[in-house]
Amino acid sequence: MKLKDWAFKKSPWIFHLGAGSCNNCDIELLDCITPKFDVERFGILLVGSPRHADCLVITGIVTKKVLPRLKRVYKQTPDPKIVIAVGACACSGGIFRDGYNMAGPVDRVIPVDVYIPGCPPKPEAIISGIVKALGDMK
Amino acid sequence: MAEKKRTIIPIGPYHPLQEEPEFFLLGVEGEKVVDIEWKTGYNHRGIERIAETKSYDQVTFLVERVCGICSTSHPIAYCNAMEDLAGIEIPERAKYIRSIIAELERIHSHLLWVGLAGHFLGYNTVWMWSWKYREPVLDIMEAISGNRQNYAMLKIGGVRRDIEESDIPKILKMVEKLVPNLDLLTGAITDDPVLHVRLKGVGILTKEEARNYGATGPTARASGLPFDARRDSPYAAYDLVDWKVITRQEGDVFAKVVVRLLEMYESVKIIKECLMRLRKVKTEIAIKVEEIPPGEGIGHPEAPRGEVFHYIRSDGTNRPVRHKIRAPSFCNVPTFRATVIGETISDATIILAAVDPCYCCTERMAVVDKRTGKKEMNGFDLIRLSQEKTKDLRRKMLGK
């Protein structure tokens, strides 16, 4: 294992992008870093810029207005990166699948590594998803 | 204005922490904010249009996903509108259960807000604490509805799940445990001299302005307008239990904090009383709705952020012909023109946050010089500016 991959697995930094979600997945994701779940003790950190991030966590159906911005954020995230789609909307479009402003789901726009279904997924599910994504890293 | 050097600060559309993307443009001269614009539409999912393609029962679950934090207020508004349209009176037990869920949601929403407001001021401890104390509320929700968010408790004509007699003592105990935590938070926030300096007299929305902008919810109540849809046009069980509307006269950020903190105590009171009443009231939890007649209906309950409004028009088929939703932030966000203009950039963050505008993107701001278009600051700098101001004040006041 190269040094870069080793470091990547030890402390994945996350950039969260709400691409037209209802906030539920977003607050559950944020819940992961507060005392009850506290993923920071494992080195998982929410960062404010995609340029600092290892993981891109995307919630929500990708709306048409967000589409170009999502592509840009994906390009700005340095390799190696993993993309995690959180919630039913990001995985499949969910209840908004038939909406006229829908440009997603996420995997139609950018490649997705991990899908975490649920409306919203519980923080445990989100943590488990990220851990599995890291386990798959070779 | 052409003479003076004017700078534009875009806020948004992405916030690394959470919530919907929204975009603000602040025009500043030096430190002072002189103009603000609001651009939105990043989160537009076409819900009203989707609602017209779904049957009435399905729309209940659709409107739950308008906003994750208000995921009971929107279904209540929708069900109230449908019951208004069909002329249905829901059973008493359903009324109490609706109130319990709505008030639990209010506590969770206000705690969430207090935490994020603390973060923007550089009080990360407040953030972590209030989110820690929010967890028991979500546990109660999970005990009642089976899910931490998106409770799916509502249906036209009543509620979908009953609260079992055997669960009531457990839930009461959990609710009572919230009170010492709320005391701790309220004490920590209202006794802090630094927060007094930082929040008092900042971002004042006068009574007149609140009325003119049509502000609702805690934003209006903090400016001395005693409007609360729960009292003014009672729905669910709010006319059956005893509680009071919290108001403050000052209209500044501190008043908004105090209104929200005190509202949580009222919510605890309402929940406890509703749970006690549930033991005596043994009616059905829902009535069967045979058909929806043609007509119009409105529902306007009080969400944690203010009054939410739903309008339904039916033509007698099984799906709405028109479904109109107006969320409280739509009324509250324009008040920024009254509150932010004239204040400094370091205060803008917390003033924007004070309205709880489905929070948006205060952390991804960048200062752009209007003439050269050059970026001078980004969102982190602005948050840092806000946090440093608190730190300076603390150092000055406490001599540290």
Q: Which domains does chain A have, with CATH numbers?
A: 13-136 (3.40.50.12280)
Q: Is A7 near chain B, with CB under 8 Å?
A: no
Predicted pLDDT of residue B356: 66
Q: B47-330: which CATH architecture?
A: Orthogonal Bundle (1.10)
pLDDT in tens, A71-88: 888 988 888 888 999 989
Predicted pLDDT of residue B19: 52
Which chain A residues contact residue B49 at CB under 8 A?
Answer: 99-100
Q: Of A20, A21, A5, which Cα lies nearest the Cα of A82?
A: A5
Q: Which residue of A has its CA nearest to B60?
A: A95
Q: Where are the domains of chain B?
A: 47-330
B104: tokens are 């639990």
Q: Which residue of A has its CA nearest to B49?
A: A99
Q: Which of B19, B62, B135 sits opposite A18 (nearest CB)?
A: B19
Q: Which residue of A has its CA nearest to B66?
A: A22
How far apart are the CA of A63 and the nearest CA of chain B, in angstroms?
7
pLDDT in tens, A107-118: 888 999 889 998
Residue ranges of chain B with per-residue pLDDT less than 70: 1-24, 38-41, 356-385, 399-400
Alpha carbon distance B49, B321 (integer Å) = 10
Predicted pLDDT of residue B362: 30
Angle between helix axes B73-86 and B92-120 (nearest 10 degrees) is: 150
pLDDT in tens, B126-140: 888 888 898 988 888
Predicted pLDDT of residue B7: 64
Cis peptide before A120 (omega within 30 of 0): yes
Predicted pLDDT of residue B324: 87
Report long-range pairs for A128-137 (Cβ below 8 Å, ≥24 apart): A129/A84, A129/A86, A130/A12, A130/A14, A130/A39, A130/A44, A130/A55, A130/A84, A133/A55, A133/A82, A133/A84, A134/A9, A134/A12, A134/A82, A137/A5, A137/A8, A137/A9, A137/A80, A137/A82
Q: Is the ipTM of this complex over 0.90?
A: no
- Sequence-distant (≥ 6) Cβ neighbours of residue B153 within 8 angstroms: B72, B75, B97, B98, B101, B144, B145, B159, B160, B161
Q: Which of A48, A69, A100 sits opposite B16 (nearest CB)?
A: A48
Predicted pLDDT of residue B180: 92
DSSP B168-212: HHHHHHHHHHHHHHHHHHHHHHHT-HHHHHHHTTSS---HHHHHH
Predicted pLDDT of residue B372: 42
Task: Determine whether the interchain pair A24/B71 forms a contact, defined as Cβ–Cβ distance below 8 Å.
Answer: yes
CB pairs under 8 A between A and B: 122
Q: Of A66, A72, A129, which Cα lies nearest the Cα of A96?
A: A66
How far apart are the CA of A7 and the nearest CA of chain B, in angstroms?
22
8 Å CB contact between B106 and B266 = no
Predicted pLDDT of residue B76: 92
8 Å CB contact between B44 and B330 = no
Torsion sign (Cα): B104, B107, B109, B112:
negative
Alpha carbon distance A17, B15 (integer Å) = 8
Q: Indicate the residue type of B342.
A: G
Task: Determine whether the interchain pair A15/B131 forms a contact, defined as Cβ–Cβ distance below 8 Å.
Answer: no
Torsion sign (Cα): B223, B248, B135, B198:
positive
B178: tokens are 């919230």
- Sequence-distant (≥ 6) Cβ neighbours of residue B363 within 8 angstroms: A48, B15, B16, B17, B379, B380, B382, B383
Q: How confident is the model at residue A33 (pLDDT cuts 50, 70, 90)?
A: confident
Alpha carbon distance B125, B121 (integer Å) = 11
Helix, strand or coil, per DSSP, at residue B130 = helix
Alpha carbon distance B336, B351 (integer Å) = 8
Round the average pLDDT of chain A to a whole number and report it: 84
